[in-house]
């Protein structure tokens, strides 16, 4: 059974009304004056400044323009103050990525705030939207399940027309900063044991929901773990700030690129987010996962499944507590050389793969002989053990942590701990291993 008290909440980052740039005051929205097509009364949209902001030099690349594959016409030219889908008034820009921009919007029907993720217009297949819609209908993904609060949920999706095509839009509950952002704020850029345990408890509960829903995340790391807002009054302050001190922006013809300026502090649950690389179904093929977190079966072109997320969980635990990574990007120019270095590092740390694992793919013959001896094009690293690499804890605490990570880093996917097994491990319970456990 799971903990009766539920997972620990250890993410009290900032007071709920503090932002990265300034403390902000709250605001009131204007009263109703119209009705939407659904008959609901709509609040009057607020008027946002058209002057008084910093104008960025047109020659300077900002925000999404700095992305290597950026194409201007692919992005929707959103303006702060614009109303989309009849009742969402956009009040601030929160961020951007290779396939979307992210905005804070207020629902004119009820004053509630939502995040709008506005995708580029050239997506042939919107995997993230597909996964969110699938999760919304999954029986195991419901508010009565303990892990529901630890998986990001969609509110609704719709399309808007842009000057160069249609754009998918996903509406979601606003969340705070990522666990990685919070980690980078720490003096040593790592967390104490108690906070790591509290984070992993919540991740495991969310992972269990995904497993029962037949969803493989494939991109599980601290950047994709967001901290919920315990008090959303900060969002009204963000809106008011855009009126009092509007963000800088760059004008291109009649359109603008706004500068995102907010990092929201969180005090709530840790939430698994970003399903752009997720897969539906237990049997998958092909490339997946960020390179340092890539499971061996993915590197070797084998069929893979939900066990790849368990591999990621072990590396996530390590990266939250330890300064030195277990695995890295070794050669960004050559995948063949990088794979060889990556598998050599795994072999040095975990020992040779079992014969049954080697038989799953002919590609393994590039790296090991029939007896599991390393024959790859790079030598094995020397003196690479968990004991030599783990420095954050001492004595029994260190041994317990190493055992915990080892439970997830097995060559054979079926031997890796499940999320619920990890949830009950002594490391997360603040205990040490029994003396009879090696």
Q: Residues at the annotated binding site? A: 117
Start-end of H helices in 247-332: 296-299, 307-321
- How would you label 281-300 residue by residue, b for 16+ Cβ within 10 Å and e otherwise? eeebeeebbbbbbbbbbbbb
Backbone φ and ψ for 33, nearest 5 degrees, come out as -150, 0
The CA-based angle 205-211-212, given to 5 degrees, is: 95
- 309 touches 416 (CB < 8 A): no
Beta bridge partners of 401: none
Cβ neighbours, 10 Å, residue 344: 20
CA gap 167, 161 in Å, rounded: 6
Provide the 3-class DSSP secondary structure of residue 294. coil
Residues with catalytic function: 219
Cβ neighbours, 10 Å, residue 22: 12
Helices 395-406 and 307-321, packing angle to 10 deg = 150
Going by the annotation, the residues of the binding site for ATP are 117
CA gap 1, 54 in Å, rounded: 56
User: Which residue in this structure is represented by tokens 């080892």?
Assistant: 406
Beta bridge partners of 256: 251
CA gap 405, 320 in Å, rounded: 12
How far out from the chain centre does Cα 164 lie?
Answer: 29
CA gap 54, 295 in Å, rounded: 46
Q: Which two tokens stand for residue 367?
A: 């790296």
């Amino acid at each position: 059974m799971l903990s009766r008290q539920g997972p620990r909440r250890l993410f009290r980052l900032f007071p709920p009304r503090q932002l990265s740039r300034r403390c902000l005051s709250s605001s009131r929205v204007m009263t109703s004056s119209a009705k939407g097509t659904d008959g609901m009364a709509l609040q009057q949209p607020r008027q946002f400044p058209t002057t008084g902001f910093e104008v960025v030099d047109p020659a300077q690349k900002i925000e999404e323009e700095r992305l290597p594959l950026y194409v201007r016409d692919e992005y929707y030219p959103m303006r702060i103050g614009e109303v989309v889908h009849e009742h969402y008034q956009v009040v601030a820009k929160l961020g951007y990525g290779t396939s979307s921009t992210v905005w804070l919007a207020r629902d004119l029907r009820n004053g509630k705030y939502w995040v709008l993720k506005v995708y580029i217009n050239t997506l042939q297949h919107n995997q993230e939207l597909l996964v969110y819609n699938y999760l919304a209908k999954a029986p195991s993904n419901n508010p009565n399940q303990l892990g529901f609060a630890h998986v990001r949920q969609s509110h609704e999706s719709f399309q808007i027309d842009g000057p160069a095509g249609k754009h998918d839009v996903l509406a979601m509950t606003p969340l705070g900063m990522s666990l990685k952002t919070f980690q980078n704020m720490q003096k040593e850029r790592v967390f104490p044991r108690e906070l790591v345990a509290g984070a992993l408890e919540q991740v495991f509960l969310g992972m269990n929901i995904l497993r029962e829903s037949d969803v493989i995340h494939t991109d599980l790391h601290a950047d994709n773990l967001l901290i919920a807002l315990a008090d959303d009054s900060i969002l009204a302050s963000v809106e008011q700030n855009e009126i009092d001190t509007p963000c800088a922006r760059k004008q291109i013809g009649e359109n603008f690129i706004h500068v995102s300026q907010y990092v929201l502090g969180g005090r709530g649950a840790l939430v698994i987010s970003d399903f752009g690389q997720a897969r539906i179904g237990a049997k998958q093929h092909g490339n997946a996962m960020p390179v340092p977190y890539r499971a061996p079966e993915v590197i070797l072109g084998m069929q893979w499944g939900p066990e790849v997320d368990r591999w990621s969980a072990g590396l996530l635990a390590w990266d939250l507590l330890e300064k030195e990574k277990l695995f890295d990007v070794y050669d960004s120019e050559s995948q063949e050389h990088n794979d060889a270095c990556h598998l050599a590092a795994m072999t040095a740390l975990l020992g040779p793969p079992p014969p049954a694992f080697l038989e799953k793919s002919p590609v393994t013959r590039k790296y090991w002989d029939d007896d599991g001896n390393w024959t790859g094009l790079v030598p094995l690293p020397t003196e690479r053990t968990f004991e030599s690499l783990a420095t954050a804890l001492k004595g029994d605490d260190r041994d317990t942590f190493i055992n915990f990570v080892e439970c997830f880093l097995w060559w054979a996917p079926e031997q890796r701990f499940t999320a619920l097994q990890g949830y009950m491990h002594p490391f997360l319970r603040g205990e040490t291993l029994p003396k009879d456990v090696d």
